[in-house]
A = this chain, B = another copy of it.
Amino acid sequence: MEVNSELELAAAQLAELGHPTRLGIFRVLVRAGRGGVAVGDIQLALDIPGSTLSHHLSRMTRVGLMEQRRDGRTLYCSLKFETVEALLGFLYAECCVGMPQMQAAPQGNCCD
């Protein structure tokens, strides 16, 4: 992947996180962990119209931040943790150049 398109991908993903509703969704997804959450439960948590929620979910999916899997009539959403790790890794890689007080992206060394 080109350097430049890596930046563009990161920007696209950050832009999706950069909306209060979607950052709220992100929060819910993180807390849900690998198992994911039903769309309906996200809707309960955030209290917004289904069509609006669906729009945001589709945007987040489009940039690889989450994915959906159907189980019966329920759609479960789960965070793509690798993507999030890569994104935070990118930010830290950028930051560590000029910010000695910050740390390089952590790798598998928390809470283990």
Residues of chain A at the chain B interface (Cβ within 8 Å): 7-8, 10-20, 22-24, 26-27, 29-33, 79, 81, 84-85, 88, 91-92, 94-104, 106, 108-112
Across the interface, do B20 and A18 meet the contact criterion of CB distance under 8 Å?
no
Query: Which listed residue, B20, B27, B96, B102, touches A8 by the CB 8 Å rule?
Result: B20
Closest B-chain residue to A14, C-beta based? Answer: B18
Which secondary structure dominates chain A's binding surface?
A: helix
From residue A92, how far is it (CB to closest CB) to chain B in Å? 7
Q: Assuming the A-B contacts A23-B10, A94-B26, are A109 and B103 also in contact, with contact meaning beta carbons closer than 8 angstroms in the complex?
A: yes
Q: How far is the CA of A99 from the CA of B112 in the complex (A)?
A: 10
From residue A49, how far is it (CB to closest CB) to chain B in Å? 19
Query: Which listed residue, B26, B95, B110, touches A102 by the CB 8 Å rule?
Result: B110
From residue A91, how far is it (CB to closest CB) to chain B in Å? 7
Q: How far is the CA of A19 from the CA of B82 in the complex (A)?
A: 21
Q: How far is the CA of A26 from the CA of B11 in the complex (A)?
A: 11
Q: How far is the CA of A89 from the CA of B95 in the complex (A)?
A: 13
